[in-house]
């Protein structure tokens, strides 16, 4: 269900961006920027979801979480996955985002690649 919602939102974002490019006034650039920002926010949400799923599979997380309360676990997950989500825009191009909006398989691979690149470094920097 989450995949369907994410796919729908990304497709709507790019559809809006396409509509915005037909506008000949000076608001076209602003509309495209807004559509790109919305698309990136959707991408960051997908990254956050994947991160939260992957963090629990990490051996370091399993060991560290034994000594944490549920609230502490959520706080650390939020900080780590927030870090991963913030690093995501530096790791993808607009072309990759466009491909991700169209192809669900590509989107899954892109999100997994971005999370894999950032998860360990973010976790290490936060849980020192």
Gap between the Cα atoms of 34 and 28, Å rounded? 10
Distances (CA, A) of 121 to 25, 69, 79, 108, 126: 44, 23, 12, 21, 9
pLDDT digit string, tens, across residues 44-103: 888 999 999 998 888 888 898 899 999 999 999 999 999 998 888 888 888 888 888 888
Please give the backbone phi and psi of residue 28, each rounded to the nearest 5 degrees, phi first: -60, -45
Gap between the Cα atoms of 88 and 78, Å rounded? 15
pLDDT value, residue 21: 47
pLDDT digit string, tens, across residues 14-46: 444 444 444 445 565 676 667 667 777 778 888
Gap between the Cα atoms of 94 and 100, Å rounded? 10
Model-level pTM? 0.65
Nearest CA among 96, 104, 97 for reference residue 37: 97
Gap between the Cα atoms of 74 and 66, Å rounded? 13
Name the 3-class secondary structure at 24.
coil
pLDDT value, residue 101: 81
Is residue 2's pLDDT more than 70? Answer: no
């Amino acid at each position: 269900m989450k995949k369907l919602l994410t796919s729908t939102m990304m497709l709507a974002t790019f559809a809006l961006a396409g509509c915005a490019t037909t506008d000949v006034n000076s608001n076209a650039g602003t509309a495209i920027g807004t559509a790109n920002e919305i698309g990136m926010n959707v991408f960051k949400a997908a990254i956050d979801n994947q991160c939260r799923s992957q963090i629990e599979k990490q051996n370091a997380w399993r060991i560290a979480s034994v000594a944490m309360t549920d609230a502490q676990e959520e706080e650390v997950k939020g900080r780590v996955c927030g870090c991963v989500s913030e690093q995501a825009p530096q790791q993808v191009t607009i072309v990759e985002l466009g491909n991700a909006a169209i192809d669900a398989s590509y989107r899954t691979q892109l999100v997994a690649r971005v999370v894999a690149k950032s998860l360990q470094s973010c976790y290490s920097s936060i849980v020192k």
